[in-house]
Amino acid sequence: MVYVNTMFLFLVLQHAVVTWVWGRAARDHGPYHHHPRHSLVVDKAALLRFKKGITEDPFSVLSNWNDSVHVCHFNGVKCDRNHHRVSQLVLNESQLVGVLSPFLSNLTGLRILWIVNSHLFGTIPREFSSLTHLKSLLLEGNNLFGPIPDSLSLLPNLKTVILLDNNLNGTFSPAFFSNCSSSFQNLDVSANSFSGEIPTEIGNCVNLWSLNLYNNRFSGVLPLSLINISSLLNLDVEYNHFSGELPTEIIGSFPSLIFLHLSFNKMKSHNGNTDLSPFFDAVRNCTGLEELEMAGMGFGGTLPASIGQFLGANLTVMLLQDNKIFGSIPPSISNFSKLRMLNLSSNLMTGTISDEMRVLPRLEQLFLSHNCFSGPIPKVLGKFPSLGLLDLSHNKFFGEIPESLGNLSRLSNMFLNNNQLSGKIPSTLGRCTELLTIDLSYNRLAGKIPSEISGMSGIRIFINFSNNQLEGPLPLELSKLEDVQEMDFSSNNLSGSIFPQISSCISVRLINFSNNSLEGKLPDSLVDLKDLESFDVSRNHLSGIISSKLNNSVTLTYLNLSFNDFVGTIPSGGIFNSVTQLSFLGNSRLCGIVGGTPLPCCKRPLCTHKRHLFHSRVFLIVFLIMTILLALFLATCCAFCFGCIVVVPSKKAQVVTEPTSPEFIHNIPRITYRELADATEGFHDKTLIGSGSYGHVYKGVLSNGTTIAVKVLHTQSSSSIDSFRRECEALKIIRHRNVIRIITVCSFPDFKALVFPYMANGSLDSRLYELPSNRLSSRSSCLTLAQRVNICSDVAEGMAYLHHQAPIVVIHCDLKPSNVLLNSDMTALVSDFGISTLLTPKGAAENLENSTSDNILVGSVGYIPPEYGLGSKTTTKGDVYSFGILVLEMVTGKRPTNDMFVGGLTLQHWVSKSYRHENIEKVVDAGMARASRDLSSKRKKIWEVSIGSLIELGLRCTQDSPSSRPTMLDVAVDLNRLKRDLCRVTKII
């Protein structure tokens, strides 16, 4: 009875309180007819309390959140149809800084909560369990930490949880999955720091259709309870530490699976890592599978003979590189009628490529490099109509290059180097008009270079026919390759002269004609090659005087004329002031002063035969002694090597008698930990040149005088280890003059370091902002307009290579001035691939819906494209946006995070408005504007046109819609044209 009376009294008091609140609300806000109107008052109070926890609102998204505005009209807020409750809170790309407030839990009518790509911190509030109507929770791209609260499992209507790209950590609690509702469909916690094993309770989420766990530190085996989730369409667990055998039983229970990504884990195949049949038998049940990615896992076995009969219906991507697969390619793989990308590189595969393979009508990229394939290259490859990249390098293919490859009208990249191919280069290759790169080096090709090579006029990156047995003259048709950047025909039997029309190759930067039998004089037209940086014609039969016009080349930094028959005095000035005597070895009739030292014959004109013979004998004795000592030294090094891992194989040791020319494939000697320690004085603080969350960078000098940069990573940080692995993965297979070159990697459990060439001019960021400043002003740079255009062009060329011409598609994901390095001649190189996205199929790289993403971070504030905040994954168009910001930053001298950009104003919006409505000098960097005031009216007009071109390019690249942005290939062409025009018109700006 007491209990009943108490309850009655409670209900009476509750009724009185509610009546008083309703009456107060009616007085304050007008007539109150529905109970939900009271909830809007609570909702408004909750949102205003959330606003109080926001310390920074750069775009003023919350500017109208105040008492005078109806809550349903707040920015980012939507109410339900009858305006009874707040149903949606969407604040994507708002860049809010503050805590994720637990007061949001008072929005009990909320169905959608999206705050993407901001700077919210703190933990996910446990109070969110009050949001019983919540269906979709997206908190991607913030700074949240801690575990996922178990209380989220109490939300009965929750369908989607997207928490990727935060700092969340800890383990998955079994309680989070224990009460998994029947509506739960999508979980994405990628790019965080979760660890431990996946609890078996995940099998309770029987209606889950997408599970993304990539880029974490999960370990153990995938729980067998996953077999309960028969509706799963997407399973992505790449870049973790999962182990055990390949999850055969689990995969076989997903008949609807479309995407299976297991790459870069520690799983092995069955029967002692030798048998792949059980796994592919299980995959047989996945009839709708489109993407199979299992790269870098180290599993062994052979591909089943029937693989194409049960896996080929819908498969578009199959990545199996960097494993221990052996045996041959089953002919049934030709049944993959929808396959766009096949990568079997870096395995142990043997045998031939069968002619029984039928046409793969949609194949765009075929990677078979670094295996042991042999036999002839099958003619059937010429019947793949969509093939854009063919990489058969580093195998044992022999015989002739099939003429049928000339039928590949869409082929843009061909790598047949490092095989045993013979015969002539087929003239039909001239029909491959879309070729951007071709590498036939290190084979046994003979005969003349076909004149039909002029058909490859689209080559923009390099043509490499070096280290073959080619003969005859250099074809005049080479002059039609106007856009080629690197040309290597070294180590052949070519004869004849270097034709003057070589100057038509106006974009060439590297020419290597060394180790041939070329005769005659060097053409004076070489000076017309405005971009030429490296010229090597050593070990030929060239003669005559060395033209003094070469000293007019402002770009030439490497010159090797050794072991020819040049005569006369070596010119002075320009390149001749920076070379050494090594550039002129073996030219006994040359005279002059090189590097401040007279050549021997200049000091003693009567160089008698006896004296010459004496010197030759002394040189031979010294040569033999040095060879023996070097051999002993190398033997000792091999016996006591510390085990540093070298990314690319080194050449056999040679006595250096002439300078080493820049190569396409850099062969670097092995470097030990002890050598790194000695080079950096024990990693002393005085050699420290940079540091960050990843670790430290030291400047070092090797015993041979080579200056290097050593990037030592924090081995205690899992993100640093992942960054180390990702950067190695990218840099070991990409090579371009505008992409940083990795020398070697040293890896131990407690020490990991990457070794790069030292960049004398530091980063672009340090050159842009050299002078001191306060937060409210930007610093002016001493970079000239021409230097800025050249640097932009260099970066564009490097990015175009990564997106369109590299063996894999590389999306950088963090392009900004601090990740662009400048060498001694101010050439720009793209660096820092620690968070890049790799192995994205070309066909999907431009597709927002189908693109894959394995990035650790989205990027840096100010350079992140807007579409990433809407849930889109990384694409090449995201890099284009970042590049556009970089261009505008170089023009204006203002960072995109400058304090002036507030209230919704961004760098690109400010530039667009100011450029079109004010004097152009109001936009450009102060230092560059001052330099322009002394120009004549004609040159000032050229200056304004050039600045305008850069601004328009930057604005085009930073358009909100990815489809409206150009590709990096288009950007590179535009900048190359601007650079060329600027160079032709003036040398002063």
- DSSP for 558-572 reads EEE--SSEEEEEPP-
pLDDT for the residue numbered 989: 45
Pair 536, 560: CB distance under 8 Å: yes
Quick one: three-class SS letters along 612-679? HHHHHHHHHHHHHHHHHHHHHHHHHHHHHCCCCECCCCCCCCCCCCCCCCCCCCCCCCCCCHHHHHHH
DSSP classification of residue 808? S
Q: Which two tokens stand for residue 443?
A: 């084979």
Q: Which two tokens stand for residue 434?
A: 């879309």
CA angle centred on 874, ends 870 and 878, rounded to 5°: 85
Which residues fall in the annotated binding site for ATP? 711
User: CB burial class (10 A; 0-12, 13-18, 19+) of residue 880?
Assistant: buried
Q: Which helix (H) or strand (E) holds 609?
A: helix 609-640
pLDDT for the residue numbered 66: 93
pLDDT for the residue numbered 987: 46
pLDDT for the residue numbered 609: 45
**In the chain, what are the domain boundaries?**
673-757, 764-985
pLDDT tens for each residue of 199-256: 999 999 999 999 999 989 999 999 999 999 989 999 999 999 999 999 999 999 999 9
β-partners of residue 770 are none
**Count of Cβ atoms closer than 10 Å to residue 788 Cβ:** 23
Q: Which helix (H) or strand (E) holds 536?
A: strand 534-536
CA angle centred on 76, ends 71 and 78, rounded to 5°: 55
**CA atoms lying within 13 Å on the CB side of residue 95:** 20
**CA atoms lying within 13 Å on the CB side of residue 47:** 35
- Tell me the three state secondary structure of residue 938: helix
pTM to 2 decimal places: 0.64
Query: For tokens 């090094």, what's the residue?
Result: 637
Strands of 324-327's sheet in order across: 300-301, 324-327, 348-349
Residues of the chain scoring pLDDT < 70: 1-38, 312, 358, 595-596, 600-623, 627-671, 692-694, 714-723, 726, 729-730, 732-733, 748-750, 770-781, 839-858, 870-871, 903, 916-919, 931-935, 984-989
pLDDT for the residue numbered 439: 93
CATH of domain 764-985: 1.10.510.10
Residue 899 CA, chain-centre distance (Å), reads 30
**CA pair distance 691, 687, nearest whole angstrom:** 12
Q: Which of 814, 832, 854, 925 is catalytic?
A: 814
* Contact partners, residue 989, CB within 8 Å, separation at least 6: 784, 785, 786, 932, 935, 939, 942, 943, 946, 982
Q: Which two tokens stand for residue 715?
A: 């081995």
Residue 527 CA, chain-centre distance (Å), reads 35
Which residues fall in the annotated binding site? 711
**How far apart are the two ends of the chain, measured CA to CA in Å?**
97
Q: Which two tokens stand for residue 11?
A: 């209900």
**CA atoms lying within 13 Å on the CB side of residue 190:** 24
pLDDT tens for each residue of 62-97: 999 999 999 999 999 999 988 789 999 999 888 899
Q: Between 937-957 and 968-985, two packed helices, what is the crossing angle to 10 degrees?
A: 170
- Tell me the three state secondary structure of residue 457: coil
Distances, alpha carbon 244 to alpha carbons 216, 247, 299, 312, in Å: 17, 8, 11, 27
Pair 553, 577: CB distance under 8 Å: no
**CA pair distance 223, 206, nearest whole angstrom:** 14
Q: Which two tokens stand for residue 240?
A: 């973790």
**CA pair distance 695, 834, nearest whole angstrom:** 12
Tell me, yes or no, if 825 is annotated catalytic. no
**CA pair distance 944, 915, nearest whole angstrom:** 11
Q: Which two tokens stand for residue 281?
A: 């038998």
**CA pair distance 870, 898, nearest whole angstrom:** 24
CATH of domain 673-757: 3.30.200.20
CA max distance for the chain: 131
pLDDT for the residue numbered 124: 95
β-partners of residue 487 are 463, 511
pLDDT for the residue numbered 620: 66
**CA pair distance 786, 298, nearest whole angstrom:** 48
pLDDT for the residue numbered 963: 80
Written as one letter, the residue type at 468 is N
